[in-house]
Amino acid sequence: MSSIRNAFDGYGDLNRPLFFASKYEVLCSKLELEVSMVVSKINMNKVLSLLNLEKNGFQLMLKNWHSDDASNAKMEKDFPDELLFTGIEVKGMIWITLYNKRLNVEFLYDGKDQALEQWVLKMNDLLRKSFGLTKKPTFSVLTKPNNCFSTEEVRTEKVVIDLDRHYNDDFRETFNRVERSIKAKESGLILLYGKPGTGKTTYIKSLISKHKKANFIFIQNEFVQSLLDPDFISFLLRQRNSVLVIEDAEKVITSRENANGRSVVSTILQLTDGLFSDYLNIKVICTFNTNLAKVDTALLRKGRMIAMYEFDKLELDKTNRLLAAINAKESYESLSLADIFNVKERSYAETKTRPIGF
């Protein structure tokens, strides 16, 4: 009994690896599964039915309940949202929790027991195939928790573009250059500019979807000045061969003559053609809507620039082919992708403002 008491921390939570060691006198190996799941009695019962732990030689040792405190709550909806099972003849524990819209199943077991390990792997695979989400493309977002640079993974929808239908013909050369650069270990700058709604962001999403092994790091506008931080270069030393993406990068690529003090342009120059560039192999993609004349000329130098392209409205024939594909009326002028795919939506920009009063 003392071993059980010693396994609880100061907050009353069970330290499961410590409890495992004291119960079985061996260190535990661990496999953990976490998936999104609605918190409900039905879903917990599905998990328990799938694992069928009693039949597989485990017994229930601990349970904590999920119970609604409302006066009109129904007792039949109460269910255990924390369960601990221990092996009867094997050295194993299974900890199951369902709250905060997450299912967590933790397998702790004696790693020397090969038969038990194979069963754990089988159960883990069964759970993820039954309850796991379909794998989606991911990219990283730059963060700075506790004043240290880090990244957080973000899932996004898969995007596949039709190059011939969605973009003008002159984009193909740029498309091919970018494709080659992402597959190669090289540094350089990619400038994508043009009016809003012409397909810049959709194109970047397609790159993320297609190049699953590439590490895309999205830098939000509030972190742009952080690129001047010396610690940022140290962070990049752990992110070699990555692709940095800076959207709405007007403030980043503007001429240094208009900047007060140090400019982020200097950091980009260092990453794309400086002493570190051959070692880091960092590519920087900047998208912006501003005129190219405002871009610092040092960024446009040959050898640094991988590709540069101005996105524009679709040519008239492509505009009408795409409109016909979505059963929309023919247009007499070139349209952007955003205008084409939202052609049936109301345009609030053209709505006249009604006078206030009577």
- Residues 166, 228 share a domain: yes
- Residues 280, 172 share a domain: yes
Residue 6 placed within a domain:
yes
Residue 65 placed within a domain:
yes
CATH number at residue 215: 3.40.50.300
Cα→Cα distances 159→33, 88, 207, 240, 324, Å: 28, 49, 8, 25, 22
* Local structure of 180: helix, strand or coil: helix
Q: Model confidence at 352, in pLDDT bands (50, 70, 90)?
A: very low
- Please give the residue range of the domain that contains residue 238: 138-311
- Residues 246, 260 share a domain: yes
**What does the alpha-carbon distance between residue 187 and residue 174 come to, in Å, rounded to a whole number?**
16
Residue 53 placed within a domain:
yes
- Residues 44, 18 share a domain: yes
Q: Per residue in 240-288, pLDDT tens?
A: 889 999 988 887 777 555 554 457 787 787 777 766 677 888 899 999 8
- Residues 143, 58 share a domain: no
Q: Per residue in 181-235, pLDDT tens?
A: 998 888 889 999 999 999 999 999 999 999 988 999 999 888 887 878 888 888 8
- Residues 43, 101 share a domain: yes
Instruction: Tally the domains of the chain.
Output: 3
- Residues 307, 266 share a domain: yes
Last residue of a domain, one of 80, 110, 131: 131
- Residues 266, 302 share a domain: yes
- Residues 206, 159 share a domain: yes
Residue 355 placed within a domain:
no
pLDDT number for residue 5: 66
* Overall size of the chain counted in residues: 358
Residue 216 placed within a domain:
yes
User: In degrees, to the nearest 5, what angle opens at C-alpha 143 toward C-alphas 139 and 146?
Assistant: 150
DSSP assignments along 185-236, one per residue: S--EEEEEEESTTSSHHHHHHHHHHH-TTSEEEE--GGGGGGGGSHHHHHHH
- Residues 332, 276 share a domain: no
Please report which residue ranges of the chain form alpha helices under DSSP H.
2-6, 16-24, 41-51, 114-131, 163-166, 171-183, 200-210, 230-236, 250-253, 264-273, 277-280, 316-325, 337-341
